[in-house]
Amino acid sequence: MLTPAEDADVCEHVYIIEGDLILESEKETVKLGKNDFFSFSNIKNTILMRCNVPVTFIYVTSKPMFNRVKMYFSNLDELIKKVDEKDHYTKTHCEHVTNYAIAISRNMKCSTSIVEKLALSALFHDVGKCYIPDHILQKPDKLTPEESKAIYKHPIHSKELVEPNFGEEIANIVLCHHERLNGSGYPQGIFGDQIPLESRIIAVADSFDAITTKRPYNSPKNFKDAVEELLGMPDLYDMRAVRALKKLVDSGEIYKLCNNHVNIITSGEEEDNK
């Protein structure tokens, strides 16, 4: 994400070493490739950066912005490490859900602001599972009522981990990703439009990945059957998001969404930061 700088005079530069990079604003989309270079300053709105293949680029900026980006990615890495150390499946699941949720939101023609919030909240929606005991998290059999209570607390734990790093709004989206339209979800039992749109989109992406992924307690379904299952539950899921997901499955675009990664080399008065 490229965000407005506090200093309007700051000029930032990006040079693409490998791969393709797509810049997306409310008004236009620009695709750049290897050896392309662009600069920007005094932007008014957030510009999303995304990729369909692994991409490495050099990011040159001022010292304050360098420190901000460095801290941002340090926070990302810390949370991702917490998840991976606890359960590698959860890390992979979070990556899938992020890709699905962003694709769904684009198909729904959501604003750049919503896509931006989804990029963070979907990635960390399950980070709170690092507080769930291993024997519960990886249990192949049906959970006991007490074990279920522990699982039901993971959105609360996720909120507590996310909020100090990314703020109240992102934390609330994370908190609500297991809420359902009819009020049968958890941890708050809220319903309908009380649930943030971003959380409703994550709920669809989350359930879709769970249905289509092999786990000890789960026989996975193919993508088309999984979408049909979600379409049959309008009391639980936002059908706008489910229909958007169906379009991705029907077009075959869904198969491209599980292997997108970005490597970023940051630079900016680096000698002062050693």
Given this model, what pLDDT does residue 100 score?
95
* Residue 224 annotated among the catalytic residues of the structure: no
5 is written with which tokens? 């700088």
Percent of the chain past pLDDT 90, that is, above it, reads 42
Residue with the larger pLDDT of the pair 8 and 139: 139
Query: For all residues of the chain together, what is the average pLDDT?
Result: 83
Catalytic residue, chosen from 82, 86, 91, 129, is: 129
8-state DSSP, 229? H
In whole angstroms, give the CA distance from residue 136 to residue 146. Answer: 10
Give the integer Cα–Cα distance in Å for 31 and 40: 15
For 257, the token pair is 């969404």
Which is higher by pLDDT, 265 or 31? 31
Residue 84 has pLDDT above 70, yes or no: no
Residue by residue, DSSP assigns 110-134 as --HHHHHHHHHHTTTTTGGGGGS-H
User: What domains appear along the chain, each with residue ranges and CATH number?
Assistant: 11-70+260-273 (no CATH), 76-256 (1.10.3210.10)
pTM: 0.75
Least confident span in 37-46, 131-140, 223-232: 37-46
> pLDDT digits over 103-131, tens only?
999 999 998 889 889 988 998 899 888 88
pLDDT band at 71 (very low <50, low <70, confident <90, very high): low
Instruction: Give which of 263, 228, 261, 270 is closest to 53, Cα–Cα.
Output: 261
Bridge partners of 31? 22
- Phi then psi for residue 11, to 5 deg, are -115, 130
Tokens of 75: 């926070």
pLDDT for res 270: 38
φ/ψ of 155, rounded to 5, equals: -65, -30
User: What is the amino acid identity at position 243?
Assistant: R
What share of the chain in percent tops pLDDT 70? 80
Residue 36 scores a pLDDT above 50:
yes
CA distance 37 to 23: 12
Average of per-residue pLDDT across 197-201: 98
Top pLDDT among 69 and 120 is at 120
Please choose, from the candidates 62, 193, 49, 187, the residue with its C-alpha nearest in 3D space to the C-alpha of residue 128: 187
- Residue 104: Cβ-neighbour burial (10 angstroms; 0-12, 13-18, 19+): buried
